[in-house]
Amino acid sequence: MAERNEAENLMLLCYDQHHVIDAKSLWEVYSAERLRDIKRRHEYRIKRLTSLAQKDSATVLRVVDTIHGSPVQLAQSAVNEALVEMGRFPSYVLQRTDEYEVDLRRFPGEKESSAEHWSAAVALIRNQLQLLSALVTDGSVTDLAIFPLARIPILITLGVMLDDTIPTTVYPKRRGGTEAWGWPAPGTERSFEWRVLSEDDGEPEQVTVVFSVSGSVEIDRVPGEITAGARVYEISPVGVTPNFDLVDSPRTVDMFALCWRSLIAEIETIPSVTRINLVPAVPTTVAVAIGRSINTSVHPPVLVYDRSGLASSYFFTMELPR
């Protein structure tokens, strides 16, 4: 009986659970082995959390919006689980008075792709990133974890506005209908290449870049005003058909960014270009990577096109902020 007071045999329960277990009224559910398993898993979670030091913290930045008219949800518990799985401790110093750090769901016009919605998104993101910059300066933030669930033009904008000096990881929502976030293990590494889809007269005023990553962008769905007389490029994966499950590791995002920066360097050699058009079919993680490689203070105006709902073709959404 003395063993009953040993630490390995103790569980803290509320009165109702104690009564059920002591009376063995649900013994087929809460057997001794089941109780030991519950205790082991709980103690493992606590040890893992309490072993994380402040230096392991990652500042959370969640960006949520309505997508094609449906408001999205991103539970804090899912964020915590994804970060702890990576050995990081979540910090919510950027959290606003509402549930999220950047919550665009209250701004109307997303389904209609209105200019007002895009401008409201830019203003709110800019405001939050100013706070982030101040916290980086005073040393309060040393690592950023981004959990994005918004329209692709907004996430490209987010990438443009991010500070390149702070280590940043973008976490994807896992597919399959679950609420889980983070990169599946072990993932794959994909390479990308760019190619010229259509030539021009040699001195094009505009360049159009088609990103075929999560799906193939059919050129006849791209507006004629950004293909006629333009030099059109496409970035796509090497040796595999674009698909939703293609980008399943941070290394693949890095390989995409490497290819994209190579194409940007090519575009910079064309002095006649006064406008760059982006037509992306990409996952959220790649959308942020697109923006992070663009320097709007140096490059010509960059305009983003998108598809919405059942729209048959791409249409203009916004010019990236300068």
Q: For position 37, what pLDDT does the model report?
A: 59
In a domain, 175, yes or no: no
Query: What predicted TM-score, i.e. pTM, was given to this entire model?
Result: 0.83
In terms of Cα–Cα distance, which of 182, 178, 253 is closest to 214?
253
On whether both 204 and 142 belong to a single domain, the answer is no
Query: Which one of 137, 170, 203 terminates a domain?
Result: 170
Q: For position 139, what pLDDT does the model report?
A: 87
Cβ atoms 181, 173 nearer than 8 A: yes
Cβ atoms 226, 305 nearer than 8 A: yes
Q: For position 36, what pLDDT does the model report?
A: 67
Q: For position 52, what pLDDT does the model report?
A: 47
Residue 124, CA distances (Å) to 28, 70, 117, 135 in order: 53, 20, 11, 17
Count of CB atoms situated within 10 Å of the CB of 4: 7
Which CATH number belongs to the domain containing residue 302 in this structure? 3.40.220
Q: What is the pLDDT of residues 32-86, one digit of tens each?
A: 666 665 666 555 555 454 544 455 789 999 999 999 888 888 989 999 999 988 8
On whether both 201 and 314 belong to a single domain, the answer is yes
**Where residue 8 falls among pLDDT bands split at 50, 70, 90?**
low
**pLDDT over 70 (residue 280):** yes
Residues in CB range of 174: below 8 A, 6 or more apart: 180, 181, 182, 184
In a domain, 176, yes or no: no
* Strand spans (E) along the chain: 57-64, 66-67, 70-71, 89-91, 102-103, 144-149, 168-170, 192-198, 206-212, 231-237, 275-281, 302-306, 315-319
Mean local confidence (pLDDT), 11-33: 65
On whether both 256 and 209 belong to a single domain, the answer is yes
Q: What is the pLDDT of residues 164-178, one digit of tens each?
A: 888 999 999 988 767
* Axis crossing angle, helix 152-161 with helix 284-292, rounded to the nearest 10: 40
Domain carrying residue 14? 2-50
On whether both 294 and 243 belong to a single domain, the answer is yes
Q: What is the pLDDT of residues 206-228, one digit of tens each?
A: 999 999 999 999 999 999 999 99
On whether both 163 and 280 belong to a single domain, the answer is no
Report which of residues 189 and 185 the model is more confident about.
189
**pLDDT over 70 (residue 180):** yes
On whether both 81 and 150 belong to a single domain, the answer is yes
On whether both 158 and 80 belong to a single domain, the answer is yes
Domain count, the chain: 3
In a domain, 182, yes or no: no
**pLDDT over 90 (residue 102):** yes
Which CATH number belongs to the domain containing residue 121 in this structure? 3.40.50
